[in-house]
Amino acid sequence: MSPNAPLDFASLPRQGGLKPSLAVLQPWRRTLWGVCAAVAVAGMLSLTPYLAAWWQGQALLAGGQGVSITAVLSGLLVAWLGRHTLLYWARAASHRMAFAVIEQLRQALLHKLQRVPLVWFDRQHPAELTHLLGQQVDELEDGLAHLLPDLVSATLIPLLTLVVLVGVDWRLALACFLPYVLAVLASARSMVTGQAAMQAMMTAWGGVLQQLSVFVKGQPLLRAYGQGHHRHHAIAQALQQHQSLAEASVQRTLWLAVLFMILGTSSLSAVLLLGMGVLPAHSITPSALLFAIVVSIGLGSLYGDVFSLFLRLGKLGGVWRRMFAVLDAPELAVMPAQPVAAERGYVLSAVNYVRSGRQVLHEVSLTLPEGRSLALVGPSGAGKSTLAKLLMRQDDPASGSIRLHGLPLTAWSEDLLRQQLAYVSQQVELFAMSVADNIRLGRPDARDAEVEAVAQAMLCHDFITALPHGYQTRLEQGGRNLSGGQRQRLALARAMLCDAPIVILDEALAFSDIENEALIQQAMSTLVRGRTLVVIAHRLHTIQHCDQIVVLEAGRVVETGRHAALMAAQGRYAALWQALHDVPEEALA
């Protein structure tokens, strides 16, 4: 695979942190081998001072004068320059590979977020997703860049040194490396033991982020009701839970960390004990003992690399798990199907929908012919917004079918389906760009005259021109510098500019004042004429002229018909009308 080819994240192994990290770097296999070789040579050069000391000591023990100080210093300088040159190249190459992986990974995550069902976002917290795409992806870059140098330092260099020392004296080699091997095993055990605790700790930290996000975003409301102290309590509880899990994680692995530290300083003691106290003096040469002492001292500098390696592996495993949770999220598949003849508009047949184990819609069946209007009414929680989301295929029903123009929604590509739809909800989202660009979001090529025309129709023109730079005024994120009614009118103008054949309005006039509501409704009735219209409204007077009114209750269709017929039936619709408009019961007859 070429380093320039796109990475296939779907084929990466899903276990641990090492396997996916090595697999994702495979396109740079030659560079990987070069990095490993450079780090290995640099590691051997790092032992040069100890080897120089052994060489000099051996010469002195033999009664000679050893190598001149000038030669020793020159050799050490060359080794030092060679070592740091190799490490510089290896780290630069590792970071280049890691940055290339991260760039593609971020793009893969962003593309994935564009393909998951929109209801998937309802189960996610924005702060956690932002943290994942930002800081945690950067943590993965750091782990990938340092993984190979740490891995080589912790394995290859000790193995090469062990081979040499075994050739000198296998008993001293055993004394020197046994503590090192035990320290590695203790560190590995620590990682395995603390992995579940670390995962729980990260989940708890996600809870802290959620509480902090709610606290910051809810300041106006919390202060208005004097409930800030309750949020403080919730944050304190989340922090306490995180602290408790952190303490449990530390306590669970503390003895292993202590054992690692003890073993990390035991190689020299073991060599001295064996060479100078246990073995007979005639069975070991001073030169061999001196070499083992030098190796054990040099080996101590590698314990930090071992610790860093397992620390990074543990962190990489957690980050990869969270990445895969997004990359493996379900997508809405497009399944080709044959259209049903003479069927224009929406046809829903026995639609059931389940969310979080609770059935939200039950056997919903209805027909909305093309160019007609449909109103969904009912108490809060009846399933109105859920049904509207299914009409836009933000998710698929658990059973039953939804057809548009004779084709199942599952047979429509997302791009083609979005071209059919314009949607306005009561939760308006405006972006930090100009007013004009917010309106033309669905039609970036719309002319200024078209933008201004829909703004005038939706009664936006006057307040827009009163802004500092008119239509070119840059809005704050979320449109915080506008009122709720102004934001909703901009959203209506944006939807109308799309010129889509199907318009879905979910409480689109919820923030409109009484003075402007009738004017906006009149303008909308002109703009949506000839289009298929789905309206969700609690203000029932706004939907009394719809071609069809469907009353939902507990996810079931309990009534359907036109306004006059439903009022005459004196059923659930009439009861809702009476409750909202305080109409005497006698007037309903």
The answer on 360 and 272 residing in a single domain is no
* Least confident segment among 127-141, 208-222, 445-459, 561-575: 208-222
The answer on 364 and 273 residing in a single domain is no
**Pairing of the two strands 532-536 and 502-506:** parallel
Return all residues near 22 (Cβ < 8 A) that are at least 6 apart.
Answer: 147
Return all residues near 329 (Cβ < 8 A) that are at least 6 apart.
Answer: 112, 116, 120
* Least confident segment among 72-76, 228-232, 387-391: 228-232
Is residue 273, in this structure, part of any structural domain at all?
yes
Report whether pLDDT(585) > 60: no
The answer on 429 and 573 residing in a single domain is yes
What is the per-residue pLDDT for 351? 95
- Whichever domain contains 424, its CATH number is 3.40.50.300
The answer on 44 and 100 residing in a single domain is yes
Is residue 334, in this structure, part of any structural domain at all?
no
What is the per-residue pLDDT for 198? 64
Is residue 339, in this structure, part of any structural domain at all?
no
The answer on 378 and 318 residing in a single domain is no
Is residue 2, in this structure, part of any structural domain at all?
no
The answer on 480 and 559 residing in a single domain is yes
Other residues' Cβ atoms within 10 Å of the Cβ of residue 462: 9
Is residue 309, in this structure, part of any structural domain at all?
yes
Give me the residues paired with residue 366 across strands: 348
Is residue 332, in this structure, part of any structural domain at all?
no
Report whether pLDDT(225) > 70: no
Other residues' Cβ atoms within 10 Å of the Cβ of residue 457: 21
Q: How many domains does the chain have?
A: 2
What is the per-residue pLDDT for 587? 45
Contact 230, 143 (CB under 8 A): no
- Whichever domain contains 177, its CATH number is 1.20.1560.10
The average pLDDT across 495-511 equals 82
The answer on 227 and 370 residing in a single domain is no
In which band, very low, low, confident or very high, does the pLDDT at 302 lie, cut at 50, 70 and 90? confident
Residue whose C-alpha is closest to residue 315's, from 147, 189, 149, 155:
147
Determine the residue type at 26. Q
Q: Which residue matches tokens 């309802």?
A: 122
The answer on 270 and 226 residing in a single domain is yes
Q: Which residue has the higher pLDDT, 508 or 500?
A: 500
Report whether pLDDT(362) > 90: yes
CA distances (Å), 480 to each of 26, 250, 428, 485, in order?
Answer: 47, 44, 11, 12
Last residue of a domain, which of 269, 300, 327? Answer: 327
What is the per-residue pLDDT for 588? 41
DSSP 8-state class, residue 165: H
The average pLDDT across 239-254 equals 72
The answer on 492 and 439 residing in a single domain is yes
Contact 409, 350 (CB under 8 A): no
Report whether pLDDT(489) > 60: yes
The answer on 24 and 82 residing in a single domain is yes
Report whether pLDDT(184) > 90: no
Last residue of a domain, which of 295, 327, 359? Answer: 327
What tokens appear for 313 in the block?
Answer: 């592996």
Residue whose C-alpha is closest to residue 256's, from 187, 171, 319, 313:
187
In which band, very low, low, confident or very high, does the pLDDT at 414 lie, cut at 50, 70 and 90? confident
The average pLDDT across 420-429 equals 84
The answer on 285 and 349 residing in a single domain is no
> Where do the H-state alpha helices sit in 266-352?
267-273, 286-300, 303-327
Helices 137-168/170-217 angle, 10° precision: 170
The average pLDDT across 165-172 equals 85
Give me the residues paired with residue 403 across strands: 347, 408
Report whether pLDDT(367) > 90: yes
The average pLDDT across 157-185 equals 84
* CA–CA gap between residue 125 and residue 123 (Å, rounded): 7
What is the per-residue pLDDT for 11? 87
In which band, very low, low, confident or very high, does the pLDDT at 202 lie, cut at 50, 70 and 90? low
Q: Which residue matches tokens 């030659």?
A: 30
Last residue of a domain, which of 271, 295, 327? Answer: 327
The answer on 212 and 96 residing in a single domain is yes
The average pLDDT across 213-234 equals 64
* Least confident segment among 95-99, 236-240, 330-334, 349-353: 236-240
Residue span of the structural domain in which 441 resides: 345-588
Q: Mean pLDDT for the chain?
A: 82
The average pLDDT across 196-220 equals 67
Is residue 230, in this structure, part of any structural domain at all?
yes
Is residue 564, in this structure, part of any structural domain at all?
yes
